[in-house]
């Protein structure tokens, strides 16, 4: 199928590293309004009003600053300063649940105005939490006429009770402004039960086919 499509895959491994549950390439249908507003801001090198994950309306334009010294040229020091655009970051580090791939236990139906998960599962080792490892941005792959950009994250239940994942999301960090903005939210058709000691691997694939 030509066009831009997005899929998610989920794999649950037990403490022996055996696969206990797997969802393969489920269509992700829920880019929210924030995504298109940020895309428009990048295209126009401007700002648009979006709602960050705290529920606050912010002017985001994926802005970043640069200051590059190129050394001496014809006896003048050349220094370039200003702004650049396009910095939508998803590579959150280990323990950072403020952006990247995030998970939750909420079941509220998705709407275009969603700005966060209905009930995000926090990073941690206590009961009811999941340990968030870093969000990995894989190198693009090409298969025939399809180019795939994959994003992946691992979560581990280090508590003593089962944790249920009902929703997943992708949150971007708007670079210098440091706003955390939800761009994807999906409620799972089948909840994912994560027993103590289990590892969950979630991968989001953004695919373009000509």
Read off the pLDDT of each residue in 103-115 and give the average, rounded to a whole number. Answer: 97
Tell me the pLDDT tens digit for each residue of 133-188: 999 999 999 989 999 999 999 999 999 999 999 999 999 998 767 899 999 999 99
Average pLDDT of the residues of the chain: 89
Integer Cα distance of 71 and 195 in angstroms? 57
Integer Cα distance of 204 and 140 in angstroms? 12
What angle is formed at CA 5 by the lines to CA 23 and CA 48, rounded to 5 degrees? 115
What pTM did the predictor assign?
A: 0.89
Strands 3-13 and 199-209, bridge-based pairing: antiparallel
pLDDT bucket at 82, cuts 50 / 70 / 90: low
Integer Cα distance of 81 and 5 in angstroms? 37
- Would you say residue 72 has pLDDT above 70? no
Q: What single-letter DSSP state applies at residue 102?
A: E
Tell me the pLDDT tens digit for each residue of 19-64: 999 999 999 888 999 999 999 988 888 889 999 999 999 988 766 6
Q: Rounded to an integer, what is the distance from CA 58 to the centroid of its chain? A: 19
| Collapsed DSSP state (helix, strand, coil) of residue 170 | strand
């Amino acid at each position: 199928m030509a066009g831009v499509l997005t899929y998610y895959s989920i794999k649950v491994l037990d403490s022996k590293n055996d696969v206990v549950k797997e969802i393969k390439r489920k269509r992700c249908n829920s880019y929210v309004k924030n995504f298109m507003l940020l895309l428009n801001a990048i295209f126009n090198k401007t700002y648009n009003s979006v709602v960050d994950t705290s529920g606050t309306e912010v002017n985001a334009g994926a802005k970043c600053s640069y200051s590059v010294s190129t050394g001496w040229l014809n006896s003048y020091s050349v220094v370039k300063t200003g702004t650049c655009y396009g910095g939508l970051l998803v590579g959150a580090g280990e323990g950072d649940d403020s952006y990247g791939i995030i998970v939750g236990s909420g079941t509220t139906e998705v709407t275009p105005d969603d700005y966060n998960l209905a009930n995000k599962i926090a990073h941690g080792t206590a009961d009811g939490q999941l340990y968030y490892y870093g969000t990995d941005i894989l190198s693009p792959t090409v298969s025939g006429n399809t180019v795939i950009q994959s994003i992946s994250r691992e979560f581990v239940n280090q508590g003593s009770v089962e944790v249920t994942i009902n929703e997943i999301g992708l949150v971007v960090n708007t670079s210098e402004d440091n706003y955390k903005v939800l761009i994807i939210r999906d409620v799972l058709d089948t909840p994912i039960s994560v027993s103590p000691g289990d590892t969950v691997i979630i991968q989001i694939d953004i695919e373009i086919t000509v």
